[in-house]
Amino acid sequence: MLSNHISRRLAQQIVDTVKDTCTYDANYISPDGIIYASTDAKRVGTYHEIGHTVAKEGTAIEVTEENVFYGTHCGVNLPFTYHGKLIAVIGITGAPEKVRRYAYLAQRITTLILREQELEAKAHTERTHTRYIAQSLLHGPLPAHEFLVAYIRLSLTEPYRCLLIELNHHYNPANLSMIEQRVYAAFKQTGTVFYLAEYPNHYILLSEESRYQTWHRALKKLAQENKGIIRLAIGTPHQLEQVRQSYEEALIVLQSLPAALAVGRYETLTLELLIGSLSESQRRCYLTNTVANLREKERRYLMAYFEHNLSLQGAAASLFIHKNTLTYHLQKIKNATGYDPHRFKDAVALYLGCKIAADRKRQ
């Protein structure tokens, strides 16, 4: 509920809106009779005797003569209550017979402005609570079971998925806010309130599995339409209190997602899952034993060869080089690494090395 104290900015907004509506000067008078805000700037901070009387008696008073009462002009002064409490006195300056009809309108305007302010404050509080819950579920410590039940009013037995969107660090900062707005708009369309941004470039959504087929199509479309800017990773469903595991799965998907893809699901990972689960020291060790000494061009030749199912002709065509040229480079790679790209087991070892190198470069 809004407190009795209204900021000067909000009080000024109220009197400005009243004057914009009726063209007469308006005053926002505190219960102690001091003019707190006014469309007549020189009256701010002065004492308004009738305003003070209205606040004490709780009834409207019309003033028909100038300066009969201290600090008072002709006009209508009426008490304003909100949630059953006197908040202020609203005064409209002018001949009572002319401004009287605006008295009720001034009350309505004030009510609407305060209600809007109250709703904004409530929404901010709810958003703060929601962010706290989401962060606690993802990073710990977990909120009390009773708090989750009482606050979110959702089933704790239904599984949830974590969706993680990553924005490209190198994307034009001038257009970043536009992309962020698209992400938030897509999140709101899912119907869940559990989404948050994490510095510097992650946007996280938690949603019930029952909504998955609805929201994942819209977000997949968003990622594909902004390929190269947005990458989307989806974890597997888990109970709400174990949804951190879905978040960690989504992080692995991001680490493993090929540059050519905008969307990845944990369920579809194969070798990428193995790579994503390796520690940094294990990755360095694996690179040292496989492709660490290869140039970027040689790793690119290898990946083209693998992506074309070990077809020399297909890979050479995609690289715009002759097949014999590719054969020459593959032989050089064999000599440098000790792994033969034409042999299945060796090809797997080189493929994993190239994937790890690509992931490290992307990070």
Q: Along the chain (363 residues), what's the average pLDDT of each consecutive run of 10 residues?
A: 65 90 92 94 94 92 82 89 88 91 82 80 69 78 68 72 86 71 85 78 87 81 88 91 90 78 83 72 91 94 93 94 95 95 93 86 67
Distances (CA, A) of 28 to 7, 16, 18: 11, 10, 10
H or E element in which residue 238 lies: strand 238-239
Number of domains in the chain: 3
Q: Is residue 122, in this structure, part of any structural domain at all? A: no
- Asked if 269 and 330 sit in the same domain, the reply is no
- As a whole number of Å, the end-to-end CA separation of the chain is 47
| 275 class by beta-carbon count within 10 Å (0-12 exposed, 13-18 middle, 19+ buried) | buried
Q: Is residue 129, in this structure, part of any structural domain at all? A: no
- Asked if 192 and 222 sit in the same domain, the reply is yes
Q: Is residue 137, in this structure, part of any structural domain at all? A: no
Contact 135, 173 (CB under 8 A): no
Q: What is the pLDDT of residue 1?
A: 37
| CATH number for 241 | 3.30.70
Contact 31, 86 (CB under 8 A): yes
- Asked if 171 and 263 sit in the same domain, the reply is yes
- Asked if 165 and 271 sit in the same domain, the reply is yes
Distances (CA, A) of 199 to 141, 164, 167, 168, 204: 20, 13, 11, 13, 11
Q: Is residue 227, in this structure, part of any structural domain at all? A: yes
- Asked if 192 and 258 sit in the same domain, the reply is yes
- Asked if 284 and 242 sit in the same domain, the reply is no
The pairing of strands 85-93 and 202-208 is unpaired
Q: Which domain holds residue 239?
A: 160-275
Read off the pTM: 0.54
